[in-house]
Amino acid sequence: MNKFFRTFSLLTLLSIFCNNTFAQKLIQEYEPEKNDSIRIGKGEKDFLKYIQKGYTLSIPKKDKIIGTLIFLEGSEFDKKNKSAKLIYKQANKNGFAVLSVSTEIPLDFYFTDNSSQTAHQIIKTAFKEHNLSNNNVFLIGTGLSGHRAMKYVEYVEKIKTDFKLNLIGLVICDSALDWVRQYNEGARDIRINYNEGSVWEGTLTTYLLEQHLNGTPKTNLENYLDFSSYSYFDEESRHIKYYKDLAVRAYMQVAIEYWLKEKRKTPFDNNGPDMVGLIAELKLAGNNKSELKVIYPKDSKSDKKNVDGTWISVGKKELMKWILKQIGK
C-alpha cells in the first residue's frame, strides 16, 4: 500500500448494502486530523480546524467496473461524501465506482496547486490500490466542489504526470465559478446586512478571496480572472479550452422569488449565471456535448433552495443515463 496511507490511514471500513437491485462495498481511508487550524476571517474566533485527508470509495459488487465518478468534496463537519452518497445506488447499479476525495483544508477553494496536487495523489493511490477503471471517468461537483473539479482539470492539463485520468465528462451543480461575481455578491450581502447566514458567508468569502488573490476585483482583476474557471468579465475566456472536449452538464435551480423574499438577493446574486455562462462559452468554443439543465420550482424535490436542494432535485437515474450515453452504452 502507498506509504501515505500505510502510515496514516484509519481502519478500512468494509460494508455491504444489499437490496433487490444492487450490492455495494464501501471503503474509507483517511489520515487523522491535524491538531491545528487555519484562519478564515479577521476575528479572534475566525478559525476552522483542519479536516481528514483521504478518500471514501463505493464499489459495485460486480465482476467488472466500467467507470468511476469522482467527487472532490471535503470530509468536514461529519458530512463525509454527502453529495456522492446520493448517487451511490444508481452509479453502482450501472457498474460505476464512486470516489470521494478530501484534502486536509476545510472549505478548500483550491487557491494553490498544492490542493490539486494532493487530490491528484489521493486519486492515483485509490485507482492503484483498488484497480479502478480508468476508461470512463467523470468528475462531479456540487457547490464549491464543482469549482474544485474545474481547477483540478486545469491543473492536470498543465503538468506532466505519469498518471492521468481518462476523463470523459464533467457535471457541475449550482457552483460558483465566476469569483468576480461571487466577490460582489458577498460584498453586497455584507453591505445590506439583511440575512445573518448571507452576511457570514459573504464575510468568509470576501476575506479569503482578498487574502489569496491579493486584493479585490477592483484592485487586482487579473488574479480573479485567472482563478475563475469561467467569468462573465473575462473577454478572453482563457480557461474554456481546458473543457471544450469534455461532455459537460451544468445544473441550476430557479428560485428567484425565494431568494428575493428570504435574503433580498437579485438574479445575479446566485450561481445560476455562472452555470448559464459556462455552457454558453463552451458552445461558442464548439463543444456540442455541453448542456444546461434547469430545475424549476415545480420540479424541485426539496424545500431547500441552496446547493444541497439543487443536487437533491437532480434526477440521478436520468443523470446516469446521460453518463452512459457519453460512453456509448
**What confidence score (pLDDT) does residue 188 get?**
98
Are 171 and 315 contained in the same domain? yes
Q: Within a domain: residue 233?
A: no
- Pull the grid cell for residue 223: 488574479
Q: Within a domain: residue 71?
A: yes
Are 203 and 299 contained in the same domain? no
273 DSSP 8-state letter: H
Task: Label residues 139-178 b or e (16+ Cβ within 10 Å = b).
Answer: bbbbbbbbbbbbbbbbbbeeeeeeeebebbbbbbbbbbbb
Torsion, Cα of 184, 185, 190, 195 (10° steps): 170
Are 124 and 57 contained in the same domain? yes
% residues pLDDT > 90 (the chain): 79
Are 293 and 147 contained in the same domain? yes
Q: Within a domain: residue 197?
A: yes
CA distance 121 to 5: 11
- Partner residues linked to 67 by β-bridges: 96
Are 147 and 251 contained in the same domain? yes
Q: Within a domain: residue 232?
A: no
Are 154 and 201 contained in the same domain? no
Are 201 and 313 contained in the same domain? no
Residue span of the structural domain in which 317 resides:
3-178+238-262+271-326
* Total structural domains within the chain: 2
2 DSSP 8-state letter: -
Mean pLDDT of the 203-229 span: 98
Residue 218: Cβ within 10 Å count? 10
Are 183 and 284 contained in the same domain? no
Are 41 and 174 contained in the same domain? yes
Are 144 and 189 contained in the same domain? no
pLDDT at 292 over 50: yes
**Model confidence over 121-170: pLDDT tens digits?**
999 999 999 999 898 999 999 999 999 999 999 999 998 888 999 999 99
**CA geometry: angle 274, 277, 282, nearest 5 deg:** 125
Are 214 and 104 contained in the same domain? no
**What confidence score (pLDDT) does residue 78 get?**
52
Are 134 and 244 contained in the same domain? yes
CA distance 299 to 313: 7
The pTM (predicted TM-score) of the whole model is: 0.91
Note whether 35 and 74 are within 8 A (CB): no
